[in-house]
Amino acid sequence: MALQYKFFTISMYNSSETEAELNKFLNSVKVINIQKEFVVQDKNFFWSFAIEYLSEGLKKSDYQGAASARKRIDYKEVLSPEDFALFAKLRDWRKEAAAKENIPVYSILSNEQLAKIVEKRITSLSKLNEIDGIGDGRITKYGNAVISIVSAEENKAEDQNKKE
């Protein structure tokens, strides 16, 4: 991907054709930045556009298609009721942690990572490190909180089994 620039000048008098060309171009690339300025030179009035975009055949539709091609997973359907209850607790913890740090929830752990933690019932930092995308930084920062939530749920399940 290479950063590219394209410039357009659109006259105030005969703008239809150039506008169509500009719009077609904007719809065909991944735009990074647009700078526009209204220019007056003597009796000429026109808009000047500087478009910063990514090249190599990357189209905006490619980016939108990749996002929509990823099917949204309903973890309530995928996980058992017990697993989903733990998943929901981890998700609630993640939401609070993200709010405290003023960061998006997915930068702490993704839903997919939370689901794997739940499915494997991970209760140690070393096992947490085995999940794809969870490195030392996340383990240091969030590992103990995750382990304590999973362990508490495991202990609760063991206590319930003893009562039965």
The tens digit of pLDDT for each residue in 44-79 reads 888 899 998 887 554 444 444 444 445 688 889 889
Are the beta carbons of 150 and 121 closer than 8 angstroms? yes
How does the average pLDDT of the chain come out, rounded? 84
What per-residue confidence (pLDDT) applies to 72?
Answer: 80
Q: What are phi and psi of 3, to 5 degrees?
A: -75, 130
Give the per-residue pLDDT at 99: 92
Structure tokens at 9: 């000048």
Measured distance CA(72)–CA(132) in Å, rounded: 19
Tell me the sheet residues that pair with 133: none
pTM: 0.56
Query: With a cut of 50, which residues of the chain have pLDDT below it?
Result: 58-69
